[in-house]
Amino acid sequence: MNVEIEQIVKPLIKWFQKEKRDLPWRKTNDSYQIWISEIMLQQTRVEAVKEYYKRFLKVVPTLQDLAAIEEDQLLKLWEGLGYYSRARNLQKCAKYLVLQGKKELPRDYEELKKLPGIGPYAAASIGSIAYQLKTPAIDGNVLRVMTRIYEDDRDIMNKKVRDDYFFKLSKIMPENTRDFTESLMELGALICLPNGNPLCDSCPLSFLCKSFKNKTMLNYPVKKKLEKRKIEEKTILILEYHDKIAIQKRPNKGLLASLYEFYSLEEKYSINQLKKYLKQIKIDYVNIELLKETKHIFSHLEWHMVGYYIHCTSVPENSFIWVTKEELETKYSLPTAISIYANNIKK
């Protein structure tokens, strides 16, 4: 059976128009708003994005506002979404465009791809959703749909596979580029599900899907195993002194750049090791509480952490940024990995 891929267009769009979810970014044609949604949706679930998206646009409604917002406030709006370089790149991009006197994102795929934080996927999704460009967005959902249709056993991490589907789908893209892009994503999200349970009986494309015919859906997509994540152990210290909490700003490059964190040490310290260390750095205290052990998993790295709450009676001068508990909640953004420990702070 050869796949005549142009046959997917009509049934797919018909299905989408009937079944699509009511999502906030589907109510707008504004390229700024669509851009924000696409960046938030990278690496983050639709359900988690909805509220962030609405709040973000209330506080930062235009490209000009995004260019002008304080970085700390921007990161606060992003707090909890993870992958903070997305937020910083949004602003870099806005500043660049505003500086050039532009009122909106460029209406050209190649120009879009040159902008900070906009790779081939985001350029294609923004282009086809906001600007009627015939640029199909190839994300993990779409690759799952396509490799199942074709029984394609190439490694989907290989760029050539993505380029190949980009080319194939751009050839059959209808005038309604927005619905086409969104319908493929939606089919991957609602029907052509990963991990063992695709709902093929409800799929508008099963009539030409090779893997449905041969009952091989679960063999696709083929994805080479990622490298094992590195494990880093840490000790998180919540230092409280005169009702204030010690924080420090992370370096402006690298993991979780420019976010705030509690004082932390490499390796997991036992209480006795910690007492010795506090003596060395001249911190006196009345009491130390052991907090629970937690793990945080990043894409390439795991933090395995233990925490201590330390009620200090003297601290070295100029050692940290001391903030009130209220400021910590409202003004400073802590990465999710560490904010779990903030729940231990008593008001």
Positions in the binding site for ligand ADE (CB under 6 A) = 23, 25, 38, 41, 46, 125, 182, 185
Q: Which of 154, 155, 113, 158 is nearest to 137 (CA)?
A: 113
Cβ contacts of 223 within 8 Å, gap of 6 or more? 155, 156, 157
Cβ contacts of 300 within 8 Å, gap of 6 or more? 227, 229, 230
Q: Around Cβ 36, how many Cβ atoms within 10 Å?
A: 20
State the nearest-atom distance from the C-beta of 286 to ligand ADE, in Å: 51
Question: In this complex, which beta carbon is closest to ligand ADE, that of residue 128 or of residue 235?
Answer: 128
Element (H, E) at 63: helix 63-68
CB-count burial class (<10 Å; 0-12, 13-18, 19+) for 19: middle
Tokens of 189: 């999200």
Q: Which of 4, 6, 38, 266 is catalytic?
A: 38
Question: In this complex, which beta carbon is closest to ligand ADE, that of residue 138 or of residue 305?
Answer: 138
State the nearest-atom distance from the C-beta of 80 to ligand ADE, in Å: 18
Question: Closest-CB residue for ligand ADE?
Answer: 41
Question: In this complex, which beta carbon is closest to ligand ADE, that of residue 32 or of residue 303?
Answer: 32
Task: State whether the Cα torsion 253-111-23-69 is positive or negative.
Answer: positive
Question: In this complex, which beta carbon is closest to ligand ADE, that of residue 24 or of residue 80?
Answer: 24
Question: Is-catalytic flag, 38?
Answer: yes
Give the whole-angstrom CA distance, residue 282 versus residue 329: 28
What is the set of active-site residues?
Answer: 38
